[in-house]
Amino acid sequence: MARVKRGVTKLKRRRNILSQVKGYRFGRSKKKRVAKEAIFHAGAYAFRHRRAKKREFRNLWTLRINAALREGGFPPYSKFMGALKKSKVALDRKSLAALAKDHPESFARLAATLSR
Distance, in Å, from the CA atom of 20 to the CA atom of 22, rounded to the nearest integer, reads: 6
- pLDDT tens-place values along the chain, 116 residues long: 899 899 999 999 999 999 999 999 999 999 999 999 999 999 999 999 999 999 999 999 999 999 999 999 999 999 999 999 999 999 999 999 999 999 999 999 999 998 77
Domain ranges of the chain: 8-115
Compute CA distances 105 → 62, 68, 70, 71, 96, whole Å. 18, 10, 14, 12, 12
CATH fold of 8-115 reads c-terminal domain of poly(a) binding protein (1.10.1900)
Q: Do the beta carbons of residue 21 and residue 28 sit within 8 Å?
A: yes
- Whole-model pTM: value is 0.76
